[in-house]
Structure 1
Amino acid sequence: MQKMFDTALPFWRGNLHTHSTLSDGCLEPAEVCRRYKAEGYDFLALTDHFIGLFNYPIADTLPFRDDDFTTILGAELHSGPMENGELWHILAVGLPADFAPGHAPHFNPVEGMESGPEIAARAVEAGAFVAIAHPQWSGMTMNDARSIEAAHAVETYNHGCAMGCDRADGFHTLDLLLSEGKRLNLIATDDAHFTEPDHFGGWVMVGAETNTPEALLAALKSGHYYSSQGPELRQIFWDGKTITVESSAVSSVIVQGHGIAAVAKHGNSLTKTEVPLSRFNGSPWIRVSVIDAAGKRAWSNPIWRETD
């Protein structure tokens, strides 16, 4: 029997995608940090748009850290273009403050730009946790998605995209990449600009010994976290025959895998749910979704079954 989480570690709630007046958000960095702390978040990555139009900002959020709240430096990187002619949007959390700008003067492609894969690789080399941002919103093709070799995750739920254009999803992109053998995790985020109800809607719960940037980044890179809109994933156990999901009270537990492989269990106030794995005999990976009575979801990272 294997398990997903080390429950001896505390879990910390954080948002990995947020904007301020340093780019196109409407609140100053200090107020963004204050609001997330006031809403019960343990950490925040302020990830303003890293383009020349905004003077390539990496927000200095160090002054807003205290014993109960920390920040991770980061940015939303842009280069390109993708196949549809739009710039790449690549989330990089854990960048050094002196990360070198590329050649992205504004939101339109220009000659001499790095490719998306190149700037993602440079961010990973600099120590960042890198995610492919909002693939549905961006109109990303699978050829685009396949080209990013240096990424840790796909942004599979983006609350700002849900509120602003009903294009919040990245699960289709993630699942196809998983079935091609790409070892990627997933994240839920806000992408908050505070210009609409785009905040406090999706987050990660990170299992780490301390609420410090270093410990949080190490846990993110190792996949020791889950993503949520509200429900809690407390533990996931599995062997060759069954997966058991321990959670806060939910109405549905769904296990997904390659292709059409999926099994759902429905009920009332489910807190410990067993799902047989016979449906997934041909799937090298599985992942778990839970849905509560209000329709809020939480999602596990993928489990690779050859480790059974």
Structure 2
Amino acid sequence: MEIKQHKFISPYFESDVSSTWLRGNHHGHSTRSDGTDEPLTIVRAYEEAGYDYFALSEHDLLLRLEELQPYTKMCVIPAVEVAAKDEQTLQYLGADRVLPALELTPKEIMDRVHQAGGLCIFNHPNFKPVHDYCTDQMLDTMEGIKGIEIYTGVIERLFGQALATNRWDYLLSKGWRIYGHATDDQHAREDQFIAWNCVQWPDSQAIHPKGIVDALSEGRFYASTGVSITKIEAKDNNKCISIESDADEVHWISRNGVVLKKVEGGSSTLTMKELRENHRLHNKELSEAFYVRIECFGRGNKMAWSQPFWIVSEE
């Protein structure tokens, strides 16, 4: 029987594109909603920490860019954290308006954000105080959403479990092309610099808000709590994925969160041939719903997460 040929689809630039990584946080709060510090105090802290882009996503309130951008060299992204009627909150990144608070379903919020040209991200799906905050049934209604928080710093301080990659894998395993974000969601100073995203940015372009939002929408970034990825790409005619990082160990993850391979050190590759022959692979047909993503583990529980590489038939 003829074996179908497949290739990886990468969200990242090809190796011939000269680029750099821009570090940013796009979920957090000041005294303008439920944070403890003034907006400009927070802006100065993140700039001094070396961040390249930043957003204050106040609850159901849109800060004007002129309130922040003149006071920082960081690229400021307009954002709102929108409250759904059942108390879930969704990020509206690249916002140009405020949506009705506590009136819309998560699906209705997503649709309005997309209609306005913004990026919708499902915030902290592991939020414990609200019963049924993020059920499978609710997530099933969100087809088309492009982002989900897989690590939210403040959640660890408040409730202990900040990691939500299981919710991400649930959606990825449905074949959805959704990207994983790590944010501080800072409400106090102790919440700062816990988790961030690094956007792959072309050296030939000036940094601007729409470009950052577009890159996050397209998955051209990685999420981190301290591990740095220096290079990640598909190569050999999209038959191989390669990663270079300062991690101590690299894990390759596939559908339903199955760990295909563990490698010591921060550099690793995975070929399509190796994937097909992996005894842990549940789907031997390598259907278009199948994906591979990478988790990088460092010292002190530090981590980084690549975005998914999709597997598609060459036919």
Alignment correspondent of 1:180: 174
| Alpha-carbon contact 2:106-2:142 (below 8 Å) kept | yes
Counterpart CA distance in 2 for 1:194 and 1:94 is 24
Select which of 1, 5, 14 maps to 2:12: 5
Select which of 259, 267, 285 maps to 1:262: 259
TM-score w.r.t. the length of structure 1 is 0.84
| Alpha-carbon contact 1:72-1:93 (below 8 Å) kept | yes
Alignment correspondent of 1:59: 63
Counterpart CA distance in 1 for 2:225 and 2:192 is 11
**1:295 corresponds to which letter in structure 2?**
N
| Alpha-carbon contact 1:250-1:271 (below 8 Å) kept | yes
User: How far did residue 100 of structure 1 move?
Assistant: 4.2
Structure 2: state its 5+ residue gaps. 1-6
Considering only aligned residues, what root-mean-square deviation do their CA atoms show, in Å?
A: 2.2
Q: Is 1:89 aligned to residue 96 of structure 2?
A: no
Alignment correspondent of 2:194: 201
Structure 1 segment 11-26 matched on structure 2, within 5 A: 11-26=21-36
Counterpart CA distance in 2 for 1:299 and 1:114 is 31
User: How far did residue 60 of structure 1 move?
Assistant: 2.1
Counterpart CA distance in 2 for 1:218 and 1:93 is 10
**2:185 corresponds to which letter in structure 1?**
D
TM-score w.r.t. the length of structure 2 is 0.83
Alignment correspondent of 2:99: 101
Select which of 205, 208, 214 maps to 1:212: 208
| Alpha-carbon contact 2:77-2:209 (below 8 Å) kept | yes
Q: Is 1:227 aligned to residue 223 of structure 2?
A: yes
**2:115 corresponds to which letter in structure 1?**
E
Alignment correspondent of 2:58: 48
Aligned CA distance change for structure 1 residues 258 and 101 (closer, same or farther; 3 Å): closer
Q: Which has the higher contact order (CA 8 A, sep 6+)?
A: 2
- Of 296-305 and 282-291, deviating more is 282-291
Helix, strand or coil at the partner of 1:221:
helix
- Of 235-244 and 128-137, deviating more is 235-244
Select which of 98, 115, 119 maps to 1:125: 115
User: How far did residue 23 of structure 1 move?
Assistant: 0.6
Identity over the aligned pairs, expressed in percent? 25
Helix, strand or coil at the partner of 2:27:
coil
| Alpha-carbon contact 1:206-1:219 (below 8 Å) kept | yes
Counterpart CA distance in 2 for 1:294 and 1:167 is 16
**1:231 corresponds to which letter in structure 2?**
V
User: How far did residue 281 of structure 1 move?
Assistant: 6.8
Structure 1 segment 280-291 matched on structure 2, within 5 A: 280=281, 282=283, 284-291=290-297
| Alpha-carbon contact 1:204-1:228 (below 8 Å) kept | yes
Alignment correspondent of 1:164: 158
Counterpart CA distance in 1 for 2:217 and 2:35 is 27
Alignment correspondent of 1:246: 244
| Alpha-carbon contact 2:82-2:99 (below 8 Å) kept | no
Counterpart CA distance in 2 for 1:292 and 1:119 is 36
Helix, strand or coil at the partner of 2:198:
strand
The CA deviation string for residues 212-259 of structure 1, in whole angstroms up to 9 with x for no partner, is: 102111111111111111222221336686533222x22110011113
Helix, strand or coil at the partner of 2:127:
helix
Alignment correspondent of 1:107: none
Q: Is 1:272 aligned to residue 263 of structure 2?
A: no
Counterpart CA distance in 2 for 1:121 and 1:95 is 13
Helix, strand or coil at the partner of 1:10:
strand
Aligned CA distance change for structure 1 residues 260 and 39 (closer, same or farther; 3 Å): closer
**1:253 corresponds to which letter in structure 2?**
V
Structure 1: state its 5+ residue gaps. 51-56, 82-86, 105-112
Structure 1 segment 119-158 matched on structure 2, within 5 A: 119-138=109-128, 139-158=133-152
